[in-house]
A and B are shown apart, each in its own frame.
Chain A
Amino acid sequence: MHRARVRLRRPRQGGDDRRLVDYVGVRSRQATQNVEGSAKRLGLGVSTYFEMCGLAPSRVLASLNYSAGGWEAATVRILPTAKVQVVTGTSPHGQGHETAWSMIVADKLGIDPGDVDVLHSDTTIAPLGMDTYGSRSLPVGGIAVSMACDKVIEKAKQIAAHQMEASVDDLEFVGGEFRVAGTPSKSTPLAAIAFAAFTAHDLPDGLEPNLEAQVTYDPPNFSWPFGTHMCLVEVDTETGDVDVLQYVAVDDCGNQVNPMIVEGQVHGGVIQGLAQALYEGADYDSDGNLRTSTLADYLVPAASDVPSITLGHSVTPSPTNSLGVKGVGEAGTIGSAPAVMNAIVDALSGLGVSDVPMPASPNTVWNAIASARRSQPDPTTPGGTQ
């Protein structure tokens, strides 16, 4: 029987403060339901985690004997049409880089996200870069994109100052246009500067034509996302079947560029972890043959086999990068497998079960109950007290 001391507090810097789990109420229901002779027992599992993400300072990786560095490269190129090309070294395979990078660039340059083309995944166009792993794309690759935008704006500002006959220091870049501070009526849109940079008819002395900047960003630190997941299960002690009644994930990945992508990442991760806890396993026979060699045997759960997930978040911006982002690729997976397993063990603790192997198939859970009953012939301690 684990005991969690839960302190409810308003997040310091952001996020929501809804009470997503009635912890005391669940413990009370458990005390009523998990009594001697009861076939179906409730269990509440809690897992908290924090993770080393945003890999990583290259010197640190060297000390860990990684063969590569931890930087990321990005190029931002404003075409004469004012459309923007972004070249990123992190290669997406479904994580939504094109959307998120477009949003970062649109926000920086004051343009529509639809005017941004994100180029990736081809060494012909993006030879410099590492990978998409370790929740690093946004806190490393995304920062490189953001910094390349800053670099392009700085160059554009020099052209704008030249054309507006103003000092560079007097210009500000707001809403996609350069303005002379204190004189909002006088402005030049970035699109005009982009075209001027392309024609190169009237550039400051010594300035190269075109608006393009490349940045290679080596992060000064890892990022450290964290979270807490809670899972409520009902275990049928006669059959070993586990029913997930409620799943709540609260993750803190810092500032969120696109909350829908964050939700999708957490949903997918939670299901992956839940699948490891309940379904998926590599099973070998005594001759070493893989028995779970088809998707009919290696049980990937479908939508009908997994619970609805309630998501919450707190926002503690990363102090080590300019966007305050930390990455969310692995959050769900880290939190969910232990939350589910802890819930199962919690449900069965009154029967003397202290451990259940993964995947917790009905047969495996039934074996664990039978084994505990054999070693504790008279289990009279009801589980589920607070």
Chain B
Amino acid sequence: MIPAPFDYVRAESAEEAISLVGQHGDEAKFIAGGHSLLPMMKLRLAQPSVLIDIGRLSDLSYIREEGDQIAIGAMTRHMDVETSALLKEHVPLLAHAASHVGDPQVRHRGTLGGTIAHADPASDLPATTLALGATYIAQGPNGTREIAASDFYRTFFESALEPDEMLTEVRVPKMNGAGWNFQKFNRRAQDWAIVGVAAWRNGDQAGVGLVNMGSTPVLATSVAAAIASGASVADAAEQAAADADPQADLNASIEYRQHLARVLTRRALEAASS
């Protein structure tokens, strides 16, 4: 429960943070809310030698309308995502999914950018933004670039971010009145999902993101393709595990996870279609 020794520096701006990570290289980690990184450090699953604290970059905490998208600063806390009137109006699936993260204390500390950059396949919001077709903005020493959510996740805790890049913004398309639903299946209220499903549907368009169904958040493209080709929800949901490669753990066998993905996807799409 005691982390390995590390140095600590506080960045006062995004530019300074990127410069600091450039100096310290691979051994440095950004820390925002710290609610994923610190537990891993305490278990010594992560042993960064330098923590670059970006907790005071309040100019990265915002939720604003930009045309047909909502732009969310990386330092926006889950609680602000959950309660944002703008998100409730235009991206209600994301606001609702944020309410399922951890407990209120976690949601007041944890940040949207932090959970996405952490790239934990068992977290709720990476899969949700993936289902919504989000774009992530990364800032590096040479400027910014856009990364599609579908290109972002590589494997457990690994993303397309370069070591000297920082995630600064998440852009989510407005849902334009699409039906939506979020299913989180767990044994205790505060646990990670055994399987989670974030789904939206608008006519023959649909998006389904799966939580904890593999080494990355999973976009269930086969389900969306089935809906687009006119399949019933029940038939489309049968494809829910087709794009996933889940693992077994204490809570679930592989077969059970695949089954849960099908059941929860069907329920989510039924709710999103009604």
Contact = CB atoms under 8 A, between A and B. Distances in A.
A361 B185 contact: no
Given A239-B260, A239-B263, A363 B252 contact: yes
B193 to A, nearest CB: 12
Range for the number of chain B residues in contact with chain A:
10 to 19
Given A239-B263, A363-B251, A366-B256, A302 B187 contact: no
Contacts of B264: 239
A291 B250 CA distance: 8
B250 A241 contact: no
A238 B263 contact: yes
Interface string B213-245: 000000000000000000000000000000000
24 contacts: A239-B264, A278-B187, A279-B187, A279-B188, A291-B250, A292-B250, A296-B191, A299-B191, A301-B188, A302-B188, A302-B189, A302-B190, A304-B188, A305-B187, A305-B188, A305-B189, A361-B187, A362-B187, A362-B194, A363-B251, A363-B253, A366-B256, A366-B259, A367-B256
Contacts of A279: 187-188
A367 B189 CA distance: 23
Given A239-B260, A239-B263, A366-B256, A304 B251 contact: no
Contacts, number: 43
A301 B186 CA distance: 12
Contacts of B259: 366
B32 to A, nearest CB: 22
B23 to A, nearest CB: 35
Contacts of A362: 185, 187, 194, 251-252, 256
Given A283-B250, A363-B253, 4 more contacts: A239-B185, A240-B256, A297-B250, A301-B188
Interface in A307-363: 361-363
A292 to B, nearest CB: 7
Nearest to B262: A238
B252 A304 contact: no
A236 to B, nearest CB: 9
Contacts of B251: 361-363
Nearest to B257: A363
Contacts of A304: 188-190
Contacts of A239: 185, 260, 263-264
A267 B274 CA distance: 41
A366 B195 CA distance: 15
Nearest to A362: B187
Nearest to B190: A302
Nearest to B267: A238
Interface string A283-304: 1000000011000110101101
Contacts of B250: 283, 291-292, 297
Nearest to B188: A305
A301 B191 CA distance: 10
Point out which of A301, A361, A363 has the most chain B C-beta atoms below 10 A from its C-beta. Answer: A363
Interface in A351-386: 361-363, 366-367
- Sorted nearest first, the 7 A-B pairs with minimum C-beta distance are A304-B189, A363-B256, A238-B263, A305-B188, A363-B252, A297-B250, A305-B189
Nearest to B39: A296
Contacts of B187: 278-279, 299, 305, 361-362
Point out which of A279, A283, A296, A297 has the most chain B C-beta atoms below 10 A from its C-beta. Answer: A296
Given A292-B250, A361-B251, A241 B185 contact: yes
Interface in B193-209: 194
Contacts of B191: 296, 299
Interface string B162-192: 0000000000000000000000010111110
Nearest to A278: B187
Contacts of B256: 240, 362-363, 366-367
A130 to B, nearest CB: 36
Nearest to B194: A362
Contacts of B263: 238-239
B212 to A, nearest CB: 14
Contacts of A305: 187-189
A277 to B, nearest CB: 13
Contacts of A241: 185
Contacts of A283: 250
A238 B259 CA distance: 9
Interface in A3-29: none
B192 to A, nearest CB: 9
A17 to B, nearest CB: 36
B225 to A, nearest CB: 24
Point out which of B185, B250, B264 has the most chain A C-beta atoms below 10 A from its C-beta. Answer: B250
